[in-house]
Structure 1
């Protein structure tokens, strides 16, 4: 009886294996080795320099890769002697001349050393992916606000997994992996955009699925679009946020 049960169990296991597409494994190591395509060689940057395949958007020398978002004229922000740029109040956002889709983006930013104002009015700026999806820049040190609007949030959507800011007035790094949304020919959303964000090396957005365009009032929604510029925000509150060392790698 036991032998019969064992035989039946073996047959049952075999049937289940076939049903779930299991097949016998390779009998030699070469069967699981892949040699093509060969990944391209990328040379890492040293001492904070961009990698060899990066598009340098700002190196502290000029604004050649940027224009005003207001009227596409020259950037009116401050170009500083230390190789950074600083928001000039009430001159408007700035954006890249080049359009982007899927990217790896690196940038560094800092708030003024002297903390001014409170809540959303303290060193407020933002990094807009494809002009639509904002990663918040804000001085949240001893300065609480709504958590889906704090530093490192996907504004009004994604609450950060941690608050990883440097002390007020010191440089922060954002390393962003962004995958653009995909739309049908009819303009319907097929695949939402996603963003992964490391703030000072700390993972604070983990492949977050973006719900649509950033809205200050109301709910996010998608509108079909293609590649678009990166944009840095002038929040019109004398935020005096500074940026430096901005580069991007296209992932397409």
Structure 2
């Protein structure tokens, strides 16, 4: 009896569900979307996609200013004095770069393989050798320097190549120069999420005892790779402009 009722119930259930589905209308959001552009991905996650702006492909630093003392050899750019700054300006942006701290370890703490990615020349994602190297948590590799430690320490050993993939949302100011939306950063260190849409509390504070603050600036600015006295090497640097403010209006729920 149990099997017979089960079979009968199954037989009645299918037409009932079909009839219910047939009477339903597809829900639509009501938003008129712009057709997404077609982008061809790179062969690997490190390779630039078809819409990327390649800033360093291993031959020269012509996309940057200030690289006169840097050495470019065997497809690698190594810091040798002076911070390099992009000639092009960026706002909301995806940044990919690969870096290598010196294989020979000298010093400790902030004295090991120290550099930094300064988005809009103001907001720093720390670059350094944090492999078995104790330092303040909010200034180790993958941190938003002096603001937010990384979720985890994903650093590889000294001398090994490492990757940063950064999604940066530029801050927005009103007509009076008041901050209305803070900058946010998502950071993948060697493929590991270490920052997820973390808000920045202002520009990176460079002076001891001073907290960073927001001062109005243009929507697009260059970014730089910091010279901090260590011969940190870089390769495969590319970016993508992100169209985050697309002007869509969401209907009332």
Task: Give TM-score scaled by structure 1 length.
Answer: 0.82
Q: Cα RMSD over matched residues?
A: 1.7
Partner of 1:204: 194
Match of 1:230 among 206, 223, 226: 223
Answering whether residue 157 of structure 2 is matched by residue 167 of structure 1, we say yes
Structure 1 unaligned regions, length at least 5: 1-25, 69-73
**Which of 75, 84, 87 is the aligned partner of 2:76?**
84
**What's the secondary structure of 1:177's corresponding residue?**
strand
5+ residue gaps, structure 2 = 1-22, 244-253
Alignment-derived partner of residue 64 in structure 1? 62
Q: Runs (4+) of structure 1 moved beyond 3 Å?
A: 30-36
> How many residues align structurally?
217
Aligned position for 2:35: 38
TM superposition shift of 1:33: 9.1
**How far apart are the structure 2 equivalents of 1:45 and 1:127?**
23
Q: Show the counterpart of 1:54.
A: 52
The corresponding residue for 1:14 is none
Kept in 2, the 8 Å contact 1:66–1:75? The answer is no
1:143-222 equivalent positions in 2, closer than 5 A:
143-216=133-206, 217=208, 218-222=210-214
TM-score (norm 2): 0.82
Q: How far off its partner does 1:116 sit?
A: 1.1
